[in-house]
């Protein structure tokens, strides 16, 4: 059984096919355009991929690839350079600053800060950076994808299955002391590795009581291709269950009270404490990552690719 994103079955399949095609086109153009690549985002309503370029002579190349070209003043490389500058100043950032990211849609670097603290954030961020006030993010460690598991008296969520276990959030290990793992009162397994802060990923090596399945909720996982910004995505977590939205800005730096995490992807999917580690997936079954944290408006997830690479894991497909 498969689950869609609140669409009819035919519409969901069509959207999934368009998103997969858009993702493939984005990767081709990212390489072909080189330093002139200005990012890409997918529009669900129209099913189109918009690709930014800093060189007007590249417009025809983008159009011939089937994407909508847009001339922008800053390339992804330039945005990333600004992000790196901010990252190098993390230790001196005001406590009110909650993170930063590149907004591909507006072609700007954005610094997020607590309500009423924009002047302080602007002084830290410097010129040519947009400041947005937002609620403080927090890790969701109230402490098949989406199932609950316990670390002592704390609870987190299973992310995506891998050979020998599953991936989840790193803070579920670090912030709980990496205690004994159970599910429904039954021993679950042992920690295979974890990172937090810096990154926010971990994996659990399940014991013989459990068989990892290639599912997030009821969606069969078929791969791990990262969806374009703007694509439809859903998550399964043990607190809020199955919730859906769209992929937001990628490569975000988020300053939790417990430490700074880089490389996160934003979404407008609903998440709450206890969802930490839960799996993100597209309707077409492409695994996207695991819940890290967020606030009432944003749910950040740790992209799946770096988790698999960090621990040498192989995704279980449904």
Which residues are annotated as catalytic? 171, 200, 276
How many CB atoms sit inside 10 A of residue 48's CB?
15
| Residue position matching structure tokens 């529009």 | 43
Q: Say if strands 48-53 and 68-71 run parallel, antiparallel, or are unpaired.
A: parallel
Pairwise CA distance, residues 70 & 73, whole Å:
10
CB atoms within 10 A of CB 147: 22
Are 292 and 253 within 8 A, CB to CB?
A: no
CB 300 within 8 A of CB 252: yes
Picking from 300, 254, 234, 259, the residue whose alpha carbon sits closest to that of residue 83 is 254
Say whether the peptide bond before residue 197 is cis (omega within 30 degrees of 0): yes
Phi/psi for 295 (5° steps) reads: -145, -165
- Residue 6 CA to residue 24 CA, distance in Å, equals 24
177-203 residues labelled b (16+ CB within 10 A) or e (exposed): eeeebebeeeebbebbbbbbbebbbbb
Q: Nearest-CA neighbor of 275 among 98, 139, 152, 137?
A: 139
Both tokens of 256, joined, read: 């939790």
Residues in the chain, how many?
318
Residue 132 Rama label (left phi>0; alpha psi -120 to 50; beta): beta
d(CA 149, CA 145): 11
């Amino acid at each position: 059984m498969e689950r869609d994103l609140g669409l009819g079955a035919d519409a969901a399949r069509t959207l999934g096919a368009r998103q997969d095609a858009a993702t493939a086109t984005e990767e081709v153009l990212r390489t072909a355009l080189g330093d002139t690549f200005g990012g890409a985002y997918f529009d669900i309503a129209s099913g189109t991929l918009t690709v930014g370029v800093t060189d007007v002579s590249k417009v025809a190349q983008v159009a011939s690839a089937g994407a909508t070209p847009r001339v922008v003043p800053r390339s992804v490389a330039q945005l990333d350079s600004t992000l790196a500058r901010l990252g190098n100043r993390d230790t001196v950032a005001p406590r009110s600053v909650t993170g930063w990211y590149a907004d591909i849609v507006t072609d700007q670097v954005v610094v997020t800060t607590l309500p009423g603290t924009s002047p302080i954030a602007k002084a830290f961020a410097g010129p040519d950076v947009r400041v947005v006030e937002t609620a403080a993010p927090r890790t969701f460690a109230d402490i098949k994808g989406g199932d609950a598991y316990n670390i002592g008296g704390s609870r987190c969520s299973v992310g995506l299955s891998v050979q020998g276990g599953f991936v989840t959030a790193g803070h579920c290990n670090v912030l709980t002391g990496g205690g004994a793992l159970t599910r429904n009162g039954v021993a679950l397994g042992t920690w295979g590795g974890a990172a937090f802060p810096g990154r926010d990923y971990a994996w659990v090596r399940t014991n013989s009581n459990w068989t990892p399945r290639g599912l997030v909720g009821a969606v069969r996982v078929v791969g791990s291709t990262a969806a374009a910004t703007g694509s439809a995505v859903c998550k399964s977590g043990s607190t809020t269950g199955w919730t859906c939205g769209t992929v937001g800005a990628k490569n975000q730096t988020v300053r939790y009270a417990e430490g700074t995490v880089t490389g996160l992807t934003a979404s407008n999917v609903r998440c709450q404490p206890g969802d930490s580690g839960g799996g993100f997936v597209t309707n077409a079954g492409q695994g996207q990552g695991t819940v890290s944290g967020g606030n009432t408006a944003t749910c950040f997830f740790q992209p799946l690719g770096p988790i698999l690479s960090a621990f040498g894991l192989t995704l279980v497909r449904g």
